[in-house]
Amino acid sequence: MMKTHSIKDVARVAKVSTATVSRVINNSNLVDSWTRERVLKVIQKLDYHPNLVARSLIRGKSNLLTLIVPPEPNFFSAFYFRQILCGISHSLSKYPYRMMIYQPEGYDSQLGYPPQLDGFPMDGVFVIAPLMQDRLVKRLEKEKTPVVLINARSNILDWIDLDNVSSARDVVSALVKMGHTKIGFINGLEGYNANARLEGYKLGLEKSGLSYDPQLVVSGDYSLEKGSVAAKKLLSHSKKPTVIFAANDLMAIGALRAAHELGLSVPRELSIFGFDDSDAATLSQPQLSTVRQPFFEMGEHATDILVTRVENLKLPQKTIELPGQLIFRQSSKEKGKN
């Protein structure tokens, strides 16, 4: 760090006290306009910028928000993570806050979640979905650090999440409208998301007057391989579905592969619908119909929520559910058409 000018230099040159300079910097109206003028000129001349570390110390507020990233080495590459990051970063430029990124080396069982973060300045924390929630969140709650959960939920903390239920429901409704009546579903791993998407699937059937058939639902694990296996299982039934709806894109692509291996043409003989609108969705052949999660917007909203909370700790809990967007591409089509 180069030695820069301090508030004292400005004070000296402008022949005022540091208090006055400080008041000018902070737009206090307790300063004569002529004096202000003069001080501003000096500030500009010296290219003075307040030292934010010193300010943090006295104010007890660093204007730094922390994004805690799960310890998986490639997490930054994850599709949804990237998008959320873009959203946060974009929205953040509206505020005088900066973002620190912290990825611990691993889950620490002894000390609680983020071991090396103690003492590091942060006014608030973004927590992105995955498993690790419990311990981390409990600790942050205890420390009364403002938190916003992204893609997860809580009874106490602010959060923003996809409306999984209605998104899945809308997919099913749309498929029914396209003439499908036998709709297979490949479920994800146990957990909130998968449950909600399955619930939406059931709801969609119900809304369309179709009955729920457990044989048309098989479980997967979000992997391509399992998606393929699951699809084959679905397609081996007597009452073969005419469309397979998977709880994420990767499994949908697995289904695509299965169809290919079974010699079924997609979408002519089988439609396939994914969930996530990941990169893979447009790169697959044929391109995948899917549900786009508004990750970017989620990141944006999360930032707004967190900054608001940091600036006013006493606000009531804020929660946002955003709708997914149905994206129709080549892997699905009206039943019976060519």
Partner DNA sequence: CCTCCTACTGCAATCGTTCTCACGCTATTA
Partner DNA sequence: TAATAGCGTGAGAACGATTGCAGTAGGAGG
**Residues within the interface to its own copies (CB under 8 A):** 1-2, 49-54, 56-57, 60-62, 64, 69, 73-77, 82-83, 85-86, 89-90, 92-93, 96, 98-105, 116, 118-121, 123, 143-145, 279-280, 283-285
Q: Which is nearer to DNA, 9 or 213 (CB)?
A: 9
User: Tokens 């039934």 appear where?
Assistant: 237
Rounded CA gap, 215 and 233, in Å?
Answer: 10
Determine the Cα angle at 286 with ends 226 and 234, to 5°.
Answer: 35
The nearest distance, CB 138 to its own copies, in angstroms, is 15
Q: Which is nearer to its own copies, 200 or 274 (CB)?
A: 274
Interacting residues with DNA (CB under 7 A): 3, 6-8, 15-23, 25-26, 29-36, 48-51, 54-55, 57-60
Q: Which of its own copies, DNA, none does residue 155 bind (CB under 5 to 8 Å by kind)?
A: none
Element (H, E) at 59: helix 52-59
Distances (CA, A) of 133 to 67, 107, 147, 195, 232: 13, 11, 12, 18, 34
Q: Which is nearer to its own copies, 144 or 337 (CB)?
A: 144
Determine the Cα angle at 169 with ends 236 and 149, to 5°.
Answer: 110
Q: Which of its own copies, DNA, none does residue 144 bind (CB under 5 to 8 Å by kind)?
A: its own copies
The nearest distance, CB 60 to DNA, in angstroms, is 7
Q: Which of DNA, its own copies, none does residue 30 bind (CB under 5 to 8 Å by kind)?
A: DNA
> What is the end-to-end Cα distance of the chain in Å, rounded?
67
Rounded CA gap, 163 and 290, in Å?
Answer: 15
Q: Which of its own copies, DNA, none does residue 292 bind (CB under 5 to 8 Å by kind)?
A: none
Q: Which is nearer to DNA, 10 or 88 (CB)?
A: 10
Rounded CA gap, 123 and 220, in Å?
Answer: 39
- Beta strands 147-150; 124-128: pairing state: parallel
Q: Which residues, 6+ apart, have CB-to-CB distance to 157 below 8 Å? A: 137, 141, 147, 148, 149, 317
Q: Which of its own copies, DNA, none does residue 61 bind (CB under 5 to 8 Å by kind)?
A: its own copies
The nearest distance, CB 89 to its own copies, in angstroms, is 5
Instruction: Give helix then strand counts, H and E, for the chain.
Output: 12, 12
The nearest distance, CB 94 to its own copies, in angstroms, is 9
Q: Which of its own copies, DNA, none does residue 16 bind (CB under 5 to 8 Å by kind)?
A: DNA
The nearest distance, CB 38 to DNA, in angstroms, is 8
Q: How far is CA 29 from the centre of its chain?
A: 41
